[in-house]
């Protein structure tokens, strides 16, 4: 009604979800999110870590290894990671190196990022987060898959590296059928 003080709200209504046309790739895709690390007893602040792992030698050793086994997703288009850990050296003499790795179940390990050096500092654990998207590659392109954090002392001086994974770490998979 022209001149009416009542507003016509019909032009401001949104279409119902079933009235919206979605691109085919979104309709037939899937998403899977998991927080695989640092599970254990509940805490008052919600922050959980895996047990503190101490290396026994000078080669890379796994702090925690987890197998991700989502239900059928179709073809994996993209992986997304947000991985947090805490690292410490047993002395002020040797650095600690760490990296996150993935592989197709029981396959060959692929580095998600290059080795990171934490300068020797026995006084405290230092927290690191590495995140981003990762496209499928030859040795990492399917589910199920394994993921791990590995650490080592930088020298052969007998020092140890310590590390643990945090429960806020996540893995997100995008798939297409």
Domain assignment present for 66: yes
Q: What domain count does the chain have?
A: 1
Q: Which residues pair with 133 in a beta bridge?
A: 80
Res 71: pLDDT: 76
Instruction: List CB contacts of 87: < 8 A, sequence separation 6 or more.
Output: 96, 98, 118, 125, 126, 128, 151, 161, 162, 163
- Say if CB 170 and CB 33 are below 8 A apart: yes
Question: 18 lies in a domain?
Answer: no
Residue 25 lies in a domain: no
Q: Rounded to an integer, what distance in angstroms lies between the CA atom of residue 43 and that of residue 67?
A: 24
Confirm whether 69 is domain-assigned: yes
Say what the pLDDT of residue 2 is: 56
Q: What is the CATH number of the domain that holds 59?
A: 2.60.120.660
Query: Which pTM was predicted?
Result: 0.80
Q: How do beta strands 116-118 and 29-34 pair?
A: unpaired
pLDDT-based confidence at residue 5 (cuts at 50, 70, 90): low
Q: What pLDDT is recorded for position 12? A: 47
What's the confidence (pLDDT) of residue 21? Answer: 45
Q: Is residue 104 part of a domain?
A: yes
Residue among 71, 72, 74, 139 at smallest CA distance from 101: 139
Q: Is residue 163 part of a domain?
A: yes
7-62: per-residue pLDDT in tens?
554 444 444 445 444 444 344 568 899 999 998 888 999 999 999 999 988 899 99
User: Tens digit of pLDDT for each residue in 152-177?
Assistant: 988 766 788 999 999 999 999 988 87
Residue 3 falls inside a structural domain = no
* Residue 73 predicted with pLDDT over 90: no
The model's pLDDT over 91-116, given as tens digits with 9 standing for 90+, comes to 888 889 999 999 999 999 999 999 99
pLDDT at 6 over 70: no
More confident: 149 or 142? 149
Q: Which domain holds residue 37?
A: 30-176
Structural domain contains residue 106 = yes
């Amino acid at each position: 009604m022209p001149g009416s003080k009542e507003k016509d709200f019909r032009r401001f209504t949104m279409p119902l979800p079933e009235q919206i046309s979605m691109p085919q790739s979104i309709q037939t895709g899937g998403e899977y999110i998991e927080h695989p690390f640092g599970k254990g007893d509940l805490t008052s602040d919600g922050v959980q870590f895996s047990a503190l792992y101490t290396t026994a030698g000078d080669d890379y050793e796994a702090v925690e290894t987890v197998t991700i086994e989502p239900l059928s997703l179709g073809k994996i288009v993209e992986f997304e990671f947000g991985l947090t850990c805490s690292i410490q050296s047993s002395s002020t003499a040797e650095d600690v190196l760490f990296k996150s790795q993935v592989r197709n179940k029981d396959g060959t390990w692929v580095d998600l990022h290059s080795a990171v050096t934490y300068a020797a500092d026995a006084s405290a654990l230092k927290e690191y987060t590495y995140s981003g998207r990762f496209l499928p590659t030859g040795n990492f392109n399917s589910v199920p898959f394994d993921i791990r954090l590995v650490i080592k002392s930088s020298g052969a001086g007998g020092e140890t590296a310590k590390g643990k994974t945090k429960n806020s770490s996540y893995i997100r998979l995008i798939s297409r059928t």
